[in-house]
Amino acid sequence: MPPAGRRKKNPPPGEPADHALGRSRGGFGTKVHLVTDGNGLPLAIAVTAGQRQESTQFERVMNKVRIPNRRGRPRCRPVRLAGDKGYSYPRIRRWLRRYGIKDVIPRRKDQRPGDRRHRFDREAYRRRSVVEQCVGWLKECRAVGTRFDKLAVNYTATVKLAMIQRYLRKLTAGTDSPNRA
């Protein structure tokens, strides 16, 4: 029997074997897959190892989305979804069509152009910058940008805490408080 200080602990439920840490071109780290609304408020996240491709987590993150309504239960699907060329795959486009979501995803150079009925909406794609701004804001939170947590479930909780802080700042921005966000 190993000494008391060296016993293997069971990982918490939902913890991946690699702890969502992996090597990519940017170095050793974690990739945060994020969905935001049109105002830049985060709706859902998932974390994976750095080498995982974005499109592999698309359905997982989209199934976590809950868009609040004024009354009744929240919607699970947006009307329109904008993504970069990393999401330009037939599987993702089929999934969006199945749920009646209009895609605003540019085609990669190695793909043939789409049919003329579905033209690429450049104006809607330009508004995708709110996602990049939300990612930049999350990285400003020191615990999110540096990832000191070993476990992926703890890091996910840290990111969700930063998301809550973003919501609270948006809520208090409308008040007459001198400390506006």
- Domains of the chain: which residue ranges? 17-112+121-171
Compute the average pLDDT of residues 31-38.
Answer: 89
CA angle 62, 73, 174 (to 5 degrees): 85
Residues whose CB falls within 8 Å of the CB of residue 34, separated by 6 or more in sequence, listed in order:
42, 44, 45, 61, 131, 134, 135, 138
Contact yes or no for 68/74 (Cβ under 8 A): yes
| CATH numeric code, 17-112+121-171 | 3.30.420.10
- Per-residue confidence (pLDDT) for residue 76, from 0 to 100: 81
Contact yes or no for 115/103 (Cβ under 8 A): no
Q: What is the pTM of this model?
A: 0.77
According to DSSP, the residues that pair with 104 across neighbouring strands are 82
Render pLDDT for 120-178 as a digit per residue (tens, 0 to 9). Answer: 788 888 888 888 899 899 888 898 888 888 899 999 999 999 999 998 988 888 665 45
Decide which of 90 and 9 is more confident.
90
Residue 181 has pLDDT above 70, yes or no: no
Render pLDDT for 63-110 as a digit per residue (tens, 0 to 9). Answer: 998 877 788 887 788 888 998 888 888 999 999 999 999 988 888 888
